[in-house]
């Protein structure tokens, strides 16, 4: 059990299971992009842990870029997405893999897929550590999913509650 600000969170997915699943996703990506260069577009801040571990599993030449988005306030989605930084590299003509921490309402994915640079890519796929099917309101396919979870607020392994919890090695759920 951990306390972050005013709320208690209990362990939900342990680091062993997280690492195992990330390895499996890495193997799947290696198979599907064999001999192809990849551009990982890492969605900050929540995906930083997942993306670091996932990228370490990849065998192909891989470029890495970052985009900083925000759509959450406290434990509720505001439905608003704002980009604080555009992708710094030119992704035109490249195989882009967007790396997300969690797909919830789908607003973030919808926003990213609408970016001009993304549309210019040779291909675009999405990898998300977590996926909340109950809450997914848009219809963009998420090609690589670590874990499907119920519609509960989670923290840890990159995900925060008002700034805290990103450093935790396990995923915790709101108690
Ligand atoms: P969406 O745009 O799909 O509604 O939400 C995506 C973003 O909302 C994620 O990248 C993440 O930052 C945040 N988010 C959604 N669900 C959760 C959650 O359960 N915990 C935390 N910490 N963030 C979440």
Per-residue pLDDT of 86-133, as tens digits, reads 565 678 899 999 999 999 988 888 888 888 778 889 999 999 999 998
Q: What is the pLDDT of residues 120-138, one digit of tens each?
A: 899 999 999 999 987 666 7
Q: What is the pLDDT of residues 50-76, one digit of tens each?
A: 999 999 999 999 999 999 886 656 666
User: Which percentage of the chain shows pLDDT scores above 70?
Assistant: 87
Question: pTM of the predicted model, to two decimals?
Answer: 0.92
Cβ of 128 less than 6 Å from ligand 1: no
What spacing in Å lies between the alpha carbon of 102 and ligand 1's midpoint?
A: 5
- Catalytic residue, candidates 6, 31, 101, 104: 104
d(CA 60, CA 159): 27
Beta strands in the chain (DSSP E): 2-4, 7-13, 38-44, 62-73, 76-85, 95-103, 123-131, 144-148, 154-155, 171-174
What spacing in Å lies between the alpha carbon of 119 and ligand 1's midpoint?
A: 23
Three-class SS of residue 151? coil
Is-catalytic flag, 6?
no
What spacing in Å lies between the alpha carbon of 36 and ligand 1's midpoint?
A: 30
């Amino acid at each position: 059990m951990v306390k972050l600000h005013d709320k208690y969170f209990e362990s939900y997915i342990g680091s062993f299971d997280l690492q195992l699943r990330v390895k499996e996703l890495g193997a799947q990506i290696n198979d599907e992009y064999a001999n192809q260069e990849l551009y990982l577009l890492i969605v900050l801040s929540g995906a930083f842990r997942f993306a670091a571990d996932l990228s370490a599993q990849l065998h192909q030449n891989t470029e890495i870029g970052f985009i900083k988005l925000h759509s959450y306030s406290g434990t509720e989605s505001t439905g608003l997405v704002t980009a604080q930084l555009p992708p710094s590299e030119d992704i035109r003509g490249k195989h882009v893999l967007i790396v997300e921490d969690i797909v919830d309402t789908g607003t973030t994915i919808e926003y990213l897929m609408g970016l001009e640079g993304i549309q210019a890519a040779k291909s675009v796929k999405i990898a998300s550590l977590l996926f909340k099917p109950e809450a997914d309101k848009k219809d963009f396919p998420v090609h690589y999913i670590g874990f499907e979870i119920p519609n509960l607020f989670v923290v840890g392994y990159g995900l925060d509650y008002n700034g805290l919890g990103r450093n935790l090695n396990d995923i915790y759920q709101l108690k």
